[in-house]
A and B are shown apart, each in its own frame.
Chain A
Amino acid sequence: MALITCAGLSLGYEGREIIKDLNFTVSGGDYLCIVGENGSGKTTLMKTVLGLIPPMAGSVVMGDGLKAGEIGYLPQQTQVQRDFPASVREIVLSGCQSRQKGFFYKADDRALADRNIERMGIKDLRDRCYRELSGGQQQRVLLARALCAAGKMIVLDEPVAGLDPRVTAEMYRLIEDLNKKDGITVMMISHDIGAALRYASHILHIGRRVFFGTKEDYMSSVIGREFISQGGEDR
């Protein structure tokens, strides 16, 4: 059984439908890229899959022993209040929440948080206040947090937005490592169609026309060829 099965899924806000009758599955070990234009409903789809907003019709079923607690999520933007006092380390540690058995973090939770802080190259920002960081630095903090929570699956909404080229490359390598070496299933929204085609195993294209299938099928499909030739602009 697949990790996530979406059947006849319709989604939107307050009675206004954005996507109708969507069907796709994500199996263990997949690397799924979701592509589409601005406003086509990618973020909404991701939130619906994660159960943050209810579907308008259809169903999202989690299977294969995937529990909500094993998903690391990188939101596109967090509505962190302007004056929230929180250090980088406190935020990354909060990603260990789902692993936390008792009430408090254990030594291995702390070690995991520190490892991911190091991975994202934000070790010297560890004790800084989150709201005083630059956009790219904040993005890395949230990535480190998502990595802590990614037991079986990681769900990323535009992970490289705001990152410099070096960290972007690093990021893609890291995600690939997670997927290939640790067997973590990846679901990622990206406007970087080149990277999507390089790393993904499956593509979900949403917009006026919808496509779901393997990368190879997408590249030979009409919709895929058009989208790619226009550098990621739906017509």
Chain B
Amino acid sequence: MSAVFAKLALYLTYPFVRYALIVGVLIALCSSLLGVTLVLKRFSFIGDGLSHVAFGAMAAASVLGLTSEMPLVLTVTVICAVLILRVGQNAKIKGDASIAMISVGALALGYMLMNIFPTSGNVSGDVCTTLFGSTSILTLTPKKVRLCVVLSLTVTAVFILFYNRIFAVTFDEGFATASGTNVKMYNLMIAVIIAVIIVLAMNLVGSLLISALVIFPAVSAMRMFRSFKSVTICSAVISVVCAFLGIIVSIIEGTPVGSTIVMVNVAAFAASCIAGRYLGGV
């Protein structure tokens, strides 16, 4: 056991490991906050669709040879989030069909671009990295770390400030509209926040596993708690702890970061199910 701690202490002296932990924990925090809203508003598939869009944008950015791909990916994903929400309200194309169209289109485009304009000899390796995150969290530049920290703190601050409104819009749109809340605007805001979270989380777990990061903590917390506030706080705690443990384990054992974090989340979900049965809801 002490050998593990010694190894851990050694690793923690490396700046990139500390960066990874800070960024990982912050991203996990903000991605868990909106999880409850997404799950309850049946928006979880939007997160999934947007992650594919982010993949396509990422591919385009690397083909274009951009040194920092985040701004482009962020812009494209936010625009698509707004589009999906808009189109979803339009009855002609059904919401989920439009999401599937946008996301699969972006996925195909991204893979196509990476094959036509390979940036390295190992195309399938590149694709895998973008889809599953692999080690990218450990190769963050200080600039990207700063961007991630600012974005995740902004998302968290916006969520706290608008917590009451987000609750009202999630719980009952009709009542919220009648009592003068601008539901359309808040839905838009939620969509933009989701887009930012997706792009952030992509650095941590890769684009295929993002949904896990958003949904697992919320669903686990809902197993144990019965009020919105306690579910939100609990899912933030679960998410942060899981991300922390996942990153540590992956560093020590050399496993892929993204899948390790998701596996820890799966374990936490199983534990919550058992805990929920005995607690009977708090």
Chain A residues in the interface with B (C-beta under 8 A): 14, 47, 50-52, 67-73, 75, 78, 80-81, 83-87, 90-91, 93-95, 97-98, 100, 103-105, 127-129, 132, 145-146, 149, 155
B: contact size bracket: 20 to 34
Q: Are A103 and B164 touching (Cβ within 8 A)? A: yes
Interface positions, chain B 14-55, Cβ under 8 Å from A, are: 36, 40, 42
Chain A residues with CB under 8 A of B227:
85-87, 90, 127, 129
**Contact check: which of A69, A87, A127 meets B179 at CB < 8 Å?**
A69
A98 pairs with B171, CB closer than 8 A: no
Q: Determine if B231 is an interface residue (Cβ-Cβ < 8 Å).
A: yes
CA of A86 to CA of B225 in the docked complex: distance in angstroms? 9
Q: Is B231 in contact with A85, judged by CB distance below 8 angstroms?
A: yes
**Besides A73-B178, A86-B227, A127-B227, 20 other A-B contacts (C-beta < 8 A):** A51-B177, A52-B177, A68-B179, A69-B180, A71-B178, A73-B175, A75-B174, A78-B175, A81-B42, A83-B222, A84-B171, A87-B229, A90-B167, A95-B179, A98-B181, A100-B164, A104-B164, A105-B164, A128-B226, A129-B281
Tell whether, in the assembled complex, residue B168 and residue A94 are in contact, meaning their CB atoms are under 8 Å apart. yes
Chain A residues within an 8 Å CB radius of B225: 85
B residues in contact with A86, CB < 8 Å: 167, 171, 227-228
Q: CA separation between A9 and B222, bound complex, in Å?
A: 44
Chain B CB count within 10 A is highest, among A52, A95, A97, for A97
13 contacts between A and B (CB under 8 A): A50-B178, A71-B179, A72-B178, A73-B174, A73-B175, A75-B174, A85-B225, A87-B227, A87-B228, A87-B229, A94-B168, A97-B164, A100-B164
Classify the secondary structure of A's interface with B. mixed
Enumerate chain B interface residues (CB-CB to A < 8 A).
36, 40, 42, 91, 161-165, 167-168, 171-172, 174-181, 222, 225-231, 281
Q: How far apart sit A37 and B26, CA to CA, in the bound complex (Å)?
A: 56
**Contact A75–B222 (Cβ < 8 Å):** no
A47 to B229, CA, bound (A): 30
- A-B interface, 10 closest residue pairs, ranked by CB to CB distance from nearest: A69-B180, A73-B178, A129-B226, A87-B227, A149-B179, A98-B179, A68-B180, A94-B168, A98-B180, A85-B231
Cβ-closest chain B residue relative to A14: B91
Smallest beta-carbon distance A56→chain B, Å = 14
Count of chain A to chain B residue pairs whose CB atoms are closer than 8 Å in the complex: 102
| B179 touching A73, Cβ below 8 Å | yes
By beta carbon, the residue of chain B nearest A145 is B175
Note all chain A residues with C-beta closer than 8 A to B162: 103
Enumerate chain A residues within 8 angstroms of B179, measured Cβ to Cβ: 68-69, 71-73, 95, 97-98, 149
Give the nearest-CB partner of A95 in chain B: B179
Q: Assuming the A-B contacts A51-B177, A52-B177, A85-B228, are A94 and B161 also in contact, with contact meaning beta carbons closer than 8 angstroms in the complex?
A: no
A71: chain B residues at CB < 8 Å are: 178-180
By beta carbon, the residue of chain B nearest A129 is: B226
Given known pairs A87-B226, A97-B168, the reply for A70 and B231 (CB within 8 Å) is no
Q: How far is it, in angstroms, between the C-alpha of A71 and the C-alpha of B175 when the chains are bound? A: 9
Chain A nearest Cβ from B73, distance in angstroms: 30
Do B172 and A80 touch across chains, with their CB atoms under 8 A apart? yes
Task: Give Cα distance in the complex from A47 to B231, angstroms.
Answer: 31
CA distance A85 to B233 in the complex (A): 13
A81 to B38 CA separation, bound complex (whole angstroms): 12
CB distance from B174 to the nearest CB of A (A): 5
Asked if B165 and A68 make an inter-chain contact with CB atoms under 8 angstroms apart, the answer reads no
Chain B residues near A146: list those with CB within 8 A: 175
Contact partners of B175 in chain A: CB under 8 A: 73, 75, 78, 94-95, 145-146, 149
Residue of B nearest to A109 (CB): B164
- Among B42, B174, B225, which residue has the most Cβ atoms of chain A within 10 A? B174
